[in-house]
Amino acid sequence: MNARHIALPERTPAGAVVCAAEGVGVSRGGKDLLKEVSLELRAGEVLALLGPNGAGKSTLLSLLSGDVAPDSGSVQFGDRGIRDWSLVDLSRRRSVLLQDNQLLFPFTVHQVVEMGRAPWRRTDREHEDNEAISEAIDTADIAHLGSRRVPSLSGGERARAAFARVMAGRTGVLMLDEPTAALDIGHQEAVLGLARARAEAGDAVLVVLHDLNLAAAYADRIALLRDGQIIACDAPERVLTSEIVSHVYNTPVEVIKHPVTGQGIVMPKRH
């Protein structure tokens, strides 16, 4: 069979479930990282995973991406169990940005972004490579870094190069683990604005964040985790209440309304 006749993924209708965890549990070293967690990610939404350190956010993202197998429960991606997909088939359907993506090998920034197109080699979408790479480089604001070697970059510049690699893949599902952690405020807004735009175009975006106010501004739904369990999962205004957030983070907070947008702003109570 001609390699270019490989069956390629089709766009998922808005609102349809693209992947789901059902009663999943993960244990490591005698500790439960996730306990009976169920969650769905839908096309056309930004779903943010929030919670304290060690709540299980990154583990849950790794389960839904297929990088980690659950000890109990199941994960479905599309129309089949996630373990029934080959790695290359998964890579054409979801792009993953890991929290510990160090990119320490001496590749240039342009070479790193090119890696995002690897799943499409010898397919009918290979012709999009140059356009996708250029677009990703521009949107991540790294055009001036193209010939730089990755080890010479700052932490924020590396993060933007890694994000551009993910964007270049042009998959229908983005899974981003703390994509804003090393970025200044301008690039934080830009990255989540791009994630928002992808969702509005029909893609599904799963993002792990620590900043509750960024999640409130850009997410359609928030899943709030604590001790390996989902405490609440709903629209931001229903999840980010002073009662729920104070309980989950064990820190007293207040939620006030932004004077212009009306969006809730979470602030610690200070004396």
Domain-located, residue 103: no
Shortest CA distance to 191 belongs to which of 181, 199, 200, 180?
180
Q: Give the sign of the dihedral formed by CA 85, CA 87, CA 93, CA 95.
A: positive
Domain-located, residue 125: no
Q: What is the pLDDT along the chain (271 residues), one digit of tens a residue?
A: 445 556 788 888 999 999 999 999 999 988 999 999 999 999 999 999 999 999 999 999 999 999 999 999 999 999 999 999 999 999 999 999 998 766 667 899 999 999 999 999 999 999 999 999 999 999 999 999 999 999 899 989 999 999 999 999 999 999 999 999 989 999 999 999 999 999 999 999 999 999 999 999 999 999 999 999 999 999 999 999 999 999 999 999 999 988 888 888 999 998 7
Shortest CA distance to 222 belongs to which of 200, 203, 248?
248
> Residues 6 or more apart from 236 whose CB is under 8 A from it?
215, 216, 219, 221, 222, 263, 264
Contact 27, 36 (CB under 8 A): no
Instruction: Give the bridge partners for 77, in sequence order.
Output: 19, 80
Domain-located, residue 53: yes
Grouping H, G, I as helix, E, B as strand and the rest as coil, residue 172 is coil
| Whether this model's pTM surpasses 0.85 | yes
Counted domains in the chain: 1
Q: Please tell me what DSSP assigns to residue 108.
A: B
Domain-located, residue 238: yes
Domain-located, residue 109: no
Residue 179, pLDDT score:
95
Domain-located, residue 176: yes
Instruction: Give the bridge partners for 145, in sequence order.
Output: none
Domain-located, residue 7: no
Assign residue 220 the CATH number of its domain.
3.40.50.300
Domain that includes residue 29, residue range: 15-93+172-182+201-271
Residue 1, pLDDT score:
41
Domain-located, residue 106: no
Instruction: Give the bridge partners for 42, in sequence order.
Output: 17
